Chains A and B, each alone.
Chain A
Amino acid sequence: MTLRLVFLGRLEDAAGVAEREIAVAGSLDAIMAALEPELSAALSDARIKLAVNGILVTDLASLTLRDGDELAFLPPVSGG
Chain B
Amino acid sequence: MACLVRLIDGSFDPAAQLAAFSAAHAQAGGIASFIGQVRAGANEHGDVDALELQHYAPLTLPGMEALAAAAQTRWPLEGLLIIHRTGQMRPGDPIVLVAAAARHRRDAFAAAEFAMDHLKSDSWFWKREKAGGEWRWVEPREQDFADIRRWA
Contacts and interface: CB of A to CB of B under 8 A. Distances in A.
Interface in B43-70: 53-54, 56, 58-59, 62
Interface band, chain B: 20 to 34
A21 B122 CA distance: 28
B116 A79 contact: no
Contacts of B126: 8-10, 75, 77-79
A43 interface: no
Residues of B contacting A: mostly = mixed
Interface string B61-96: 010000000000000000000001000000000011
A13 B52 CA distance: 14
Contacts of B84: 79-80
Nearest to B138: A78
Interface in A1-31: 6, 8-10, 12-13
B53 A79 contact: yes
Nearest to A79: B125
Interface of B: 36, 53-54, 56, 58-59, 62, 84, 95-96, 116, 119-128, 137-141
